[in-house]
Amino acid sequence: MNKKNIYIYFLLFSLEFKFMTNNSFPEIETQISNILNKKAKKFLTVTQVRTLFPAKNLKQLKLSKKSSSSEVLKALNPYLGKSLKTFKGPRSVYIGFDIPIESMISDFIKDKPGISTKQLGTKLPLLKKDYISVLNNLIRKGLVCCVINDMHNPKLELFQDKKNTVQKEGTADKAVNQRLAFKSAYDEIGKGRNFVRIHRIREYLNWPDNQFNRVLEELMADYTIELHGGDPSSLTEEQIDNSYTDKKGFLYITLTWWGNKNE
């Protein structure tokens, strides 16, 4: 056999081996999904997955019930990706359904309204830095309500759940929290300055335009804020669009938060 034939044979063997490696157990992800569904869980630790995984399939993967979590994760990783992914928690690595962190947090709060921020952290398969920023963003958007109880502990609820429980109270709480979110954005961006660009607040909050304009107009109506015009030549077209134009077509670029007697 000449060198050319040897090279071709080796190449074909490599391709076949790679194909067999990637497709020998195409049902692995399905089996993990079935385990999660059977346990009614969106994620489990790698150790839990190993414990619940059929012994014969572990053997196919050259694993056993005594294999370490790192060994199990290394063996299972190639079969994840279509509907499952790994999550890094403070103490463990998890395998679960590939869902956005926002949905994961909302689902927990929906299932356990009144859960504290600390309790939420112990339930999520995430590092603190990965979920705190997302939770704060949900609060800024007005999707999650943070209420302080008599023990000074912050409790979390979804606005839609609160609305279903007490319609009027829920609506009032949402309005109050949106005002607080607006003020928080003003303080964060302004860093103590009185004149803050409207487009920067809009971009920071990332609310739908109708929601942002409504809250801004309500704050303006009760003299909580004052809007200012200015020279738009230093702004980009997008920044002008993200500022505020009233019904008469007048463009406002900055605002000042004065507050009112009730705040």
pLDDT in tens, 82-109: 788 899 888 899 999 888 888 888 888 8
Tens digits of per-residue pLDDT, 40-71?
888 999 999 999 998 888 888 899 999 999 99
Residues 125-147 have a mean pLDDT of 85
pLDDT at position 263 is 46
pLDDT score for 7:
47
CA distance 54 to 63: 11
DSSP tag of 234: G
Q: Alpha helix (H) ranges present in the chain? A: 3-23, 28-38, 46-52, 55-60, 69-76, 101-111, 117-123, 128-140, 159-165, 167-190, 198-205, 209-221, 237-241
Higher pLDDT, 93 or 146: 93
The encoded tokens of residue 159 equal 């606005």
pLDDT in tens, 169-214: 444 455 667 888 899 899 989 988 889 999 999 999 988 999 999 9
All domains in the chain, ordered by first residue: 3-98 (1.10.10), 99-165 (1.10.10.10), 189-263 (no CATH)
